[in-house]
């Protein structure tokens, strides 16, 4: 039986170290180490094993977390770029401000040309366009040549518009709030259920029958100036029960409010008429200068007066011939 007692001296310790068994063990370890450095067989075996069991092992660890975060960031970035391209493309094809507002996501923005903004602005009714920016102010930006682009940004309150120059410096900031956007979206529809809720029509509200009877007394071309787009009213369902005329003039136009009732609720539609024509209509409704309001001027009434004179002239001559002579 082999004795495992501690060597008594250095000679015995050396004898044990350089015995056949320790030397063979050392040579085997060195061979394995050299073969590993030369052929990487341990890494290959371990890698093959990990590949075969990869689907069964849970995805965890710092390397996997970093890889997962990288893939997620790439996907998110690609989605942001795709959404931005789609949003930019839809905004460029927008024909109204409300379409831009519907296209742009909250907190996002799109950049359009100055000409695009001008085209959208010119499609608005003059009174609504003036609420956004004065046409004279806009004309000043166009004339000085500094205005190059327009940036639209969606906010909680509405749509922010920035007129910027070539260096992206803001020349003018505009705001299209939710109320104005709603009016634009609905064509020319006011956010009210009754004319009584709109102070601009106070004491100037007329029954629909009275309004349209007065309107019918004017020629077609004059009526077109009073209600420029009657087709807008035809598109609204319901019956017109009352009509209001504003007392405020804005850029040569006066607003008219048509109150509709569809059987369940009232709502108001606003249209803009030319100032001179609406004033004539209002004068006719109030019975002031009826002939002039209906388009019959003094020159038009003159032939009727002359005809009365011509008819009465023979009668006057006959009466003169029957009178006794003073001689």
For residue 297, give the DSSP letter. Answer: -
Confidence of residue 185 (pLDDT cuts 50, 70, 90): low
Give tens-digit pLDDT for 60-104: 667 778 888 888 888 888 888 888 888 888 888 888 888 898 888
Q: Please state whether the predicted TM-score (pTM) of the whole model is above 0.75.
A: no
pLDDT of 183: 66
β-pairing, 205-207 vs 170-177, is: unpaired
Is residue 146 within 8 Å of 184, Cβ to Cβ?
A: no
Give tens-digit pLDDT for 220-266: 999 999 998 788 788 788 899 999 998 888 778 888 989 999 888 88
By C-alpha distance, which of 100, 133, 132, 127 is closest to 116? 100
| Distance, CA of 116 to CA of 151 (rounded, Å) | 11
Confidence of residue 117 (pLDDT cuts 50, 70, 90): very high
Is residue 150 within 8 Å of 113, Cβ to Cβ?
A: yes
| Distance, CA of 292 to CA of 6 (rounded, Å) | 137
| Distance, CA of 186 to CA of 180 (rounded, Å) | 10
By C-alpha distance, which of 247, 263, 267 is closest to 255? 247
Confidence of residue 189 (pLDDT cuts 50, 70, 90): very low
More confident residue, 32 or 147: 147
Q: What are the sequence ranges of the domains in the chain?
A: 91-184, 188-297
pLDDT of 88: 85
pLDDT of 151: 94
pLDDT of 147: 94
Mean pLDDT of all residues in 290-314: 40
């Amino acid at each position: 039986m082999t004795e495992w007692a501690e060597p008594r001296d250095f000679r015995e310790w050396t004898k044990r170290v350089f015995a056949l068994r320790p030397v063979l063990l050392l040579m085997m370890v060195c061979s394995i180490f050299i073969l590993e450095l030369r052929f990487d067989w341990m890494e290959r075996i371990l890698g093959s094993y990990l590949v075969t069991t990869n689907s069964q092992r849970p995805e965890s660890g710092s390397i996997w977390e970093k890889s997962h975060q990288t893939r997620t960031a790439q996907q998110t970035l690609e989605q942001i770029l795709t959404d931005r391209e789609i949003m930019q493309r839809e905004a460029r094809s927008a024909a109204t401000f409300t379409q831009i507002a519907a296209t742009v996501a909250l907190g996002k923005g799109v950049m359009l040309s100055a000409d695009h903004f001008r085209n959208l602005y010119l499609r608005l009714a003059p009174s609504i366009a003036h609420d956004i920016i004065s046409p004279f102010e806009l004309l000043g930006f166009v004339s000085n040549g500094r205005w190059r682009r327009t940036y639209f940004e969606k906010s909680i309150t509405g749509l922010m518009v920035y007129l910027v120059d070539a260096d992206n410096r803001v020349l003018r900031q505009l705001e299209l709030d939710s109320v104005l956007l709603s009016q634009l979206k609905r064509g020319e529809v006011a956010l009210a259920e009754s004319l009584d809720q709109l102070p601009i029509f106070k004491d100037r509200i007329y029954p629909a029958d009275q309004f349209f009877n007065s309107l019918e007394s004017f020629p077609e071309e004059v009526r077109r100036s009073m209600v420029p787009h009657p087709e807008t009213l035809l598109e609204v369902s319901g019956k017109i029960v009352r009509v209001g005329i504003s007392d405020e003039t804005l850029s040569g136009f006066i607003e008219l409010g048509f109150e509709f009732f569809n059987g369940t609720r009232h709502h108001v539609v606003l249209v803009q008429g030319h100032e001179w024509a609406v004033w004539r209509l209002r004068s006719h409704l109030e019975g002031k200068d009826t002939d002039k309001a209906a388009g019959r001027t003094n020159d038009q009434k003159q032939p009727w007066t002359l005809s009365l004179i011509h008819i009465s002239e023979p009668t006057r001559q006959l009466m003169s011939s029957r009178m006794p002579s003073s001689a």
